[in-house]
Each structure stands twice: as C-alpha cells, then as structure tokens.
Amino acid sequence: MPKKLFIRTYGCQMNVYDSARMADVLAPLGYAPAASPEEADMVIVNTCHIRERASEKTFSELGRLRDIKEEKDGKVILAVAGCVAQAEGAEIMARAPFVDIVLGPQTYHRLPEMVARAERGAAVAKVGWKAQPGLGILDTEFPIESKFDHLPAPDTVHGVTAFLAIQEGCDKFCTFCVVPYTRGAEFSRPADKILEEARRLVALGARELTLLGQNVNAYHGEGPDGSTWTLAKLSYALADIPGLERIRYTTSHPRDMGDDLIAAHGALPQLMPFLHLPVQSGSDRILQMMNRQHTGDDYRRIVDKLKAVRPDLALSSDFIVGFPGESDVDFAATMRLVRDITFPQAFSFKYSPRPGTPASLSDHQLPEELKDARLAELNDLLRAQNAAFNRESVGRVLPVLFERPGKHDGQMMGRSPYLQPVHVQGGLDLVGSIRMVRIDREHAYSLTGSFYDESAEASSLSSPQPRVTA
C-alpha cells in the first residue's frame, strides 16, 4: 500500500519551496501526498523562527500531532524541519520525545536515509512508543555538500507559477534577525543548474518564476563561463527561455540593488514592475542600530533610479515597529518614508526579541502597548495606500496572467503585474495565457475586468483613452 505524507508549512516562501522539495525527495520511497495529518503515515512540520509567535506555533502544532500519533498507536513518523528545528533542535528532542526526526534546512537531501532509520526505530519501539530515548534522529548540520546537488529535479508544477531557489542564507546579520543563524552563510547556486531547473519548470507548464533567496539580489553564482554572475546577468539568461513570460525575485536587500540589476528592470519586460524591497524603518538612527548599512535616503535614491527606468514600478516592503530604542521621532520618520514612497503592499511587524540576536540584549525594549499603537498607525496608512492603488487601477489596461477558475461560474482568475487577483469572464483555455484586461471595478481583495481589444479601441475615437501598461 502506498504511504502518505502530510507537510505543514510555516514561514516564508523559501519554506514553501523546501516543503515541495522534501515531498520530491520522499516520493521515490513511496510517499504520496495526504490531505490531512490524520490520514498520513508521515507528517513533517516545516517551521519558522522569525518571530516569537511563529516559533510558538511549532510546539502547539506538535501537541496536536502527538494526539494523532497516540490514536494511531505511534504508527506515524513525525519530523520537524526548518528554522525552529535548526535553532532549537535539541530542545525539541527533549520537550517532544515523540518526534522521530529533527532536521535543519540544509540537510533535507538526507531525509530518505533518516526516514529509513526512523522506520526501523518505529518497528523496535512499537510497544510503548512514547518512551524511546535515543531513537530520535537529529541532523542540523551545515554540511559541506550542497543539498541542491542531491535533490531530484522537480517533476510537477502546480499551476502556472513556480518558485525556484537560487540563493540561500545570509551574511548581513541585521541585529534583530535569526536568519543568518538558521539558514547559515550566503550560498548561490551555479547559474547552469538554475537555468536547467527553470527550463524544466517552464516545460512542466510554468509561465512565471519567482526566484527565491533570503538575500536574492546578493546572488553571485558561478556562470557557465566560470565568471561570477549577478542576479542581473542571470535574469537576462532566464529571459531568453521561450515560454517564460514573467520573472520575479524575493527577498532583496537595498544594499545589493546594483546598477546592473536596476538597468535590467528597464531592459527586460519579463522582470515584473513590482518589487519587494524591505526597508524596515525610515529612521537613519534605527537603521544603523539594525545594522542595515543603508539610510532612508539611500533607499529613496534606489527607488528613484528604478522608477527612472521603469516608471510603472511599484514597491512592497517589510517594516518593523518598536525596535529597541525607537522614539516617536524615529517612528515619525518611518511614517514619512511610507508617505513619500507609497507601498501598494507591505508587511509590518512588531519587533520580537529573538534568542541569540544582539537587539534582544538591548536595555531599551519598548512596552507592548506602544508597539501595538505604532503598528496600528502604520497599518492604517499602509491599508489606505493599498486601497488607493487598487482604486487607481480601475480604468487601467493591464496584462493578466490567467491561473485558474474564479469563484463564480464562467469566471477566470489571473494576476496583474502587481499580483492583484483579477477576475474576468472566460473559459479554462485562458489558463497560462497573458491577455490585456481593462480593469472595470475594485472589490475588497480583487479586481474585475474585461478583455481589452486594442483594434476596437483605436477605431472608436469618442471613447476615453485608457492607460495601457505593457
């Protein structure tokens, strides 16, 4: 009988990618996807350590899984993967002895071997599975070999968009952040491996690729010619792949926004005019304490340069409010930067002290109420900017990449260059195609539109000229 695997994923897009690759790695062992943990023979919890609340989810999820394991007399393999596993592997083993495998983000190519060992261990521990000290497997090494060299090529693409990891890890050490500790040092995959995977994903049906990395624009992989390639250089090569219509990348750092990458945004229509470029704060004092190594004005200059080559470019960002020592003046500087630049989309967080990070040791931690108040104020502004952007989209003509049927009969859902969901009346044959759509209405979380026929528009001079975005 085929075995079934359920993966619960928390955290960033890199974790979503990793979960898919763990499923790929286990497929040859006979594991097929399960719809719920209850019907699975193996459950992986892929965890996130970025903020306290994210981390806590691991242990509450493990509590639920223990009950399921109990109901099944222990006949399910439980694995904890990802960034909490990396940071607190030993603690998980101690606090949750019913967990069979704990593995970090850099060792999941070794999963088949760990699962084989766990399967043997589970057989031994059939009676009284709760007490199996020493049977648990912990692998949170940062191995010399790269997991990417040991992973099978992806063999399915769900839908028309796919993730592709090109870079991993971080050497920036922002003082609030755990990622350099959980993901390790910066590593860039060789360009030919990336191009090969991209061609494969396109052959499997992907029309849009999102290149992933914790510091994706710090990419400096080896090119086929032996030279070091930047993200710009890689983007040009990817843009040559027939059928690859859209390229996005995330998450980028302002310091690595090189001039060649900025120029690529002007030269490559495949590079979407929507960029996630986290600024975190608008106060130079706080940016310095965060060790971001750029100022608010540096960020403004980068945005100006990007908009000079791609005027329709829009930005998204992450913000942290309530960083230790953040004054009213500092917070006002963040609000000012948001007003100046405008972000159609953004993620904002209350500062969360993380174990092992320098900022968590500061004596100037702010009270929760103050962080709450600042977060609410910032969110009001960001919500208003998001609503304004969607409102201003009405009347525009945008290219929409169709993904799947919409909620209503006869409706298809696609995305604008700005990732806005757009609904249009149409059939399944639209999936995977890009069509020009005139946006007619905005709704709470989406837009509706109708196909825009350029020739018809040209002949009716009396109709108002819509703004067309290529």
Tokens of 455: 């020739």
Task: Confirm or deny that 158 is annotated as ligand binding.
Answer: no
Minimal distance, residue 209 CB to ligand SF4, in Å: 21
Give the span between the Cα atoms of 252 and 244, in whole angstroms: 21
* β strands within 34-110, DSSP E: 42-47, 77-81, 101-103
43: Cβ contacts below 8 Å, ≥ 6 apart: 5, 6, 7, 8, 37, 65, 68, 76, 77, 78, 79
Spatial contact of 312 and 273, defined as CB atoms under 8 Å apart: yes
Which of 10, 176, 219, 229 lies at the binding interface for ligand SAH (CB under 6 A)?
176
Minimal distance, residue 45 CB to ligand SAH, in Å: 19
Task: Confirm or deny that 306 is annotated as ligand binding.
Answer: no
Give the span between the Cα atoms of 396 and 383, in whole angstroms: 21
Binding residues among 5-64 for ligand SAH as defined by CB under 6 A: 50-51
Element (H, E) at 284: helix 284-289
**Nearer to ligand SF4 (CB atom), residue 98 or residue 173:** 173
Q: Can residue 166 be called a binding residue for ligand SAH (CB under 6 A)?
A: no
Q: Can residue 108 be called a binding residue for ligand SAH (CB under 6 A)?
A: no
The DSSP bridge pattern shows strands 345-350 and 31-33 to be unpaired
Give the span between the Cα atoms of 439 and 422, in whole angstroms: 8
**Nearer to ligand SF4 (CB atom), residue 31 or residue 187:** 187
Q: Which residue intervals of 292-367 are DSSP H helices? A: 296-309, 328-341
Minimal distance, residue 216 CB to ligand SF4, in Å: 10
**Nearer to ligand SAH (CB atom), residue 104 or residue 324:** 324
Minimal distance, residue 349 CB to ligand F3S, in Å: 11
Q: Can residue 209 be called a binding residue for ligand SAH (CB under 6 A)?
A: no
Residue nearest to ligand F3S (CB): 11
**Nearer to ligand SAH (CB atom), residue 52 or residue 113:** 52
Spatial contact of 418 and 389, defined as CB atoms under 8 Å apart: yes
| Binding-site ranges for ligand SF4 (CB under 6 A) | 170, 172-174, 177, 179-180, 214-215, 253
Give the span between the Cα atoms of 64 and 75, in whole angstroms: 15
Which stretch in 72-80, 129-137, 297-305, 351-359 sits in contact with ligand SAH by CB under 6 A? Answer: 351-359
- Amino acid (one-letter) located at 18: D
Give the span between the Cα atoms of 273 and 265, in whole angstroms: 7
DSSP state letter for 280: B
The site partner of 14 among ligand F3S, ligand SAH, ligand SF4, none (C-beta below 5 to 8 Å per kind) is: ligand F3S
The site partner of 82 among ligand F3S, ligand SF4, ligand SAH, none (C-beta below 5 to 8 Å per kind) is: ligand F3S
The site partner of 173 among ligand SF4, ligand SAH, ligand F3S, none (C-beta below 5 to 8 Å per kind) is: ligand SF4
Residue 45, strand partner residues: 8, 80
Proportion of the chain in helix, strand, coil states, percent, rounded to 5 = 40, 20, 35
Task: Confirm or deny that 259 is annotated as ligand binding.
Answer: no
Q: Tell me how far CA of residue 464 lies from CA of 104, 111, 258, 458, in angstroms.
A: 57, 60, 40, 11
The site partner of 48 among ligand SF4, ligand F3S, ligand SAH, none (C-beta below 5 to 8 Å per kind) is: ligand F3S
Counting residues that bind ligand SAH (by CB under 6 A) gives: 17
Which of 354, 374, 396, 423 lies at the binding interface for ligand SAH (CB under 6 A)?
354
**Nearer to ligand SAH (CB atom), residue 172 or residue 193:** 172
Q: Can residue 349 be called a binding residue for ligand SAH (CB under 6 A)?
A: yes
Residue 139, strand partner residues: 103
Minimal distance, residue 174 CB to ligand SF4, in Å: 3
Feature table: binding site for [4Fe-4S] cluster: 12, 48, 83, 170, 174, 177
Feature table: binding site: 12, 48, 83, 170, 174, 177
Residues making contact with ligand SAH (CB under 6 A)? 50-51, 176-177, 179, 214-215, 251, 253, 278, 280, 318, 320, 349, 351-352, 354
